[in-house]
Amino acid sequence: MTQPGTVRVCPLADLPRGEALRVDEVDPPIAVFHTDDGEVFAIDDTCTHQDASLSEGWLEGCAVECPLHASTFDLRTGEVDAPPAKVGVRAHRAEVVDGEIVVTLSTEPPRLPPGVLRGPVGR
Amino acid sequence: MTSTQLPESLIATLPGRYYTDPGLFALEQATIFERMWFCAARGSDVPRPGSFRTVQVGAESVIVSRNRRGEIRAFLNVCRHRGARICSDGEGSVGRAFQCMYHAWTYDLDGKLVAAPNLTRMPDIDRTEYGLRAVHVREWLGYVWVSLADEPPSFEDTVLQEVVNRLGEVANLDHYEVDTLSVGRRIVYDVRANWKLIVENFMECYHCATIHPELTEVLPEFADGYAAQYYVNHGAAFGADVEGFTVDGSAGLDPIPTLADDQDRKYYAITIKPQVFVNMVPDHVIVHRMYPMAVDRTVVECDWLYLPSVVESGKDVSKSVELFHRVNQQDFEACERCQPAMSSRLYRDGGVLVPSEHHIGAFHEWLRAAIGE
Q: What is the CATH number of the domain that holds B305?
A: 3.90.380.10
**pLDDT computed for residue A119 by the predictor:** 60
Please give the residue of chain B at the shortest CA–CA distance from A116.
Answer: B118
- Alpha-carbon gap: B261 to the closest alpha carbon of chain A (Å): 54
Residue B86 has pLDDT above 60, yes or no: yes
In a domain, A19, yes or no: yes
Q: Is B240 within the bounds of a domain?
A: yes
- Lowest mean pLDDT segment, chosen from A106-120, B165-179, B337-351: A106-120
For residues B68-95, give the mean pLDDT.
97
Residue A121 in any domain: the answer is no
Whether the pLDDT of residue B228 is over 80: the answer is no
On whether the CB atoms of residues B34 and B356 are closer than 8 A, the answer is no
The pLDDT mean for chain B works out to 95
C-beta atoms surrounding A21 within 10 Å:
17
Interface touch A52/B115, C-beta < 8 Å? yes
Of B118, B147, B176, the residue at which a domain comes to its end is B147
On whether both B217 and B284 belong to a single domain, the answer is yes
One domain, residues B142 and B243:
no
In terms of residue numbers, what domain contains A91?
6-116
Indicate if B136 and B197 belong to the same structural domain: no
How large is the average pLDDT for residues B225-246? 86
The alpha-carbon gap from B84 to the nearest alpha carbon of chain A, in Å, equals 16
One domain, residues B98 and B232: no
Is B277 part of a structural domain of the chain? yes
Closest by Cβ to A53, choosing from B99, B104, B115:
B115
Mean pLDDT of B296-310: 98
> By CA distance, what is A122's nearest residue in B?
B121
For A67, the closest chain B residue by CA position comes to B115
Tell me the pLDDT tens digit for each residue of B35-54: 999 999 999 999 999 999 99
B137 phi and psi angles, rounded to 5 deg: -130, 155
B334, part of any domain: yes
Predicted complex: ipTM over 0.90: no
Position A82 scores a pLDDT of 86
Mark yes or no for CB contact B114/A68 under 8 Å.
no
CATH number, domain with residue B105 = 2.102.10.10
- State whether residue A52 sits within 8 Å of chain B by CB: yes
Query: How many domains does chain B divide into?
Result: 2
- B113: nearest CA in chain A? A56
Number of independent structural domains in chain A: 1
CATH code where residue A33 lies:
2.102.10.10
One domain, residues B212 and B292: yes
Cβ atoms of B344 and B16 closer than 8 Å: yes
The pLDDT value recorded for residue B226 is 74
pLDDT given at position B112: 96
Share of chain B above pLDDT 70, in %: 98
Residue A35 forms part of a structural domain: yes
- Supply the range of the domain harboring residue B172: 156-370
**What are the residue ranges in chain A where pLDDT is below 70?**
1-4, 117-123
The C-alpha atoms of residue B250 and residue B185 are separated, in whole angstroms, by 19
CB pairs under 8 A between A and B: 35
Q: Do A67 and B106 touch (CB under 8 A)?
A: yes
Question: Residue B315 CB: number of other CB atoms within 10 A?
Answer: 15
| Among B95, B128, B147, residue at a domain's last position | B147
Q: Does A58 touch chain B (CB under 8 A)?
A: yes
CB-based contacts of B157: which residues, under 8 Å, 6+ apart? none
- Domain-embedded: residue A111: yes
Any chain B CB within 8 A of the CB of A60?
no
Instruction: Identify whether A79 is part of a domain.
Output: yes
CB contact under 8 A, A24 and B120: yes
User: Is the Cβ of A113 closer than 8 Å to some Cβ of chain B?
Assistant: no
**Is residue A17 situated within a structural domain?**
yes
Q: Are residues B364 and B272 in the same domain?
A: yes
B128 and B209 in a common domain: no
3-state secondary structure B24-61: HHHHHHHHHHCCCCEEEEEHHHCCCCCEEEEEEECCEE
Residue B236 domain-assigned (yes or no): yes
pLDDT category at B253 given cuts 50, 70, 90 is: very high
Indicate yes or no: CB of A67 within 8 angstroms of CB of B120.
no
Question: What local confidence, expressed as pLDDT, does residue B5 receive?
Answer: 83
- Closest-CA residue of A relative to B122 is A123
In a domain, B336, yes or no: yes
The sheet that has B97-99: what strands, in order across it? B97-99, B106-108, B113-115
Same domain, B55 and B202: no
Interchain CB contact of A70 with B (< 8 Å) = no
User: B130 in a domain, yes or no?
Assistant: yes
Same domain, B123 and B63: yes
Residue A118 touches chain B, beta carbons under 8 Å: no
Tell me, yes or no, whether B14 lies in a domain.
no
| A110: number of Cβ within 10 Å | 17
Is 60 exceeded by the pLDDT of residue B152? Answer: yes
pLDDT tens per residue, range A73-90: 999 999 999 889 999 999
In a domain, B17, yes or no: no
